Structure 1
Amino acid sequence: MSDPVCPLCNRPIPSGSGSLHHLIPKLKGGKGGPTVLLHDICHREIHATLSEAELARSFDTIASLRTHPRLAKFIAWIAKRPPGFRSKVPGKRRSR
């Protein structure tokens, strides 16, 4: 069986290293709603970039997430990394 593919970066997700992302945050009514399996690093970048309100309001699909300038830059960068790549240095959190 082949590894699932991360819908954000289109790289295979090695067994046991995926993270479920609620397309609509649980705190904004997404509990029990649609989820997608992402790389842990991709999932962390989404939440470091966007607030729960922004995710619920404007970025509730993979297609919309890909249009965000910071995430688009991240996707271009991560696409060149191997599927099991893990950052050793956490990225900066968004300013609130």
Structure 2
Amino acid sequence: MSDPICPLCHRPIPPDVPQSQHHLIPRLKGGKGGPTILLHDICHREIHATLSEADLARSYNTAEALRSHPRLARFIAWVRKRPPGFGSKIPGRRRMR
């Protein structure tokens, strides 16, 4: 069986790599029990470092919409050059406001 593919960066997600379920509509904005997607942990952290819960619920509630955000598009271009098991060594969140 092949590894699942991250819908953000389109790299395989090996079983030994941290992964996260991302609620397409944040739970606090009515998405509890709603659709989720499996992402690399580094991709999931970048989404939440870039966008607020309100922005996610209002405008970025699909994988396609997430990939279209300018900062996430730059991140995706950068992370696609890394191996599937790549994870950030920098702890904590980065939020651009």
CA RMSD of aligned residues (A): 1.1
Aligned length: 95
TM-score, normalisation: structure 1: 0.94
Unaligned runs of at least 5 residues, structure 1: none
Q: Percent identity?
A: 74
- C-alpha distance in structure 1 between counterparts of 2:83 and 2:71, whole Å: 20
Gapped regions of structure 2 (runs ≥ 5): none
User: How many angstroms does 1:14 deviate by?
Assistant: 1.0
Distance, in Å, in 1 between the alignment partners of 2:95 and 2:50 is 7
The TM-score, its normalising length taken from structure 2, stands at 0.93
| 4+ runs deviating over 6 angstroms | none
- Report the 3-state secondary structure (helix = DSSP H, G, I; strand = E; otherwise coil) of the residue aligned with 1:12: coil
Q: Which SS does the other structure have where 1:36 is aligned?
A: strand
Residue matched to 2:75: 74
| Partner amino acid, structure 1, of 2:10 | N
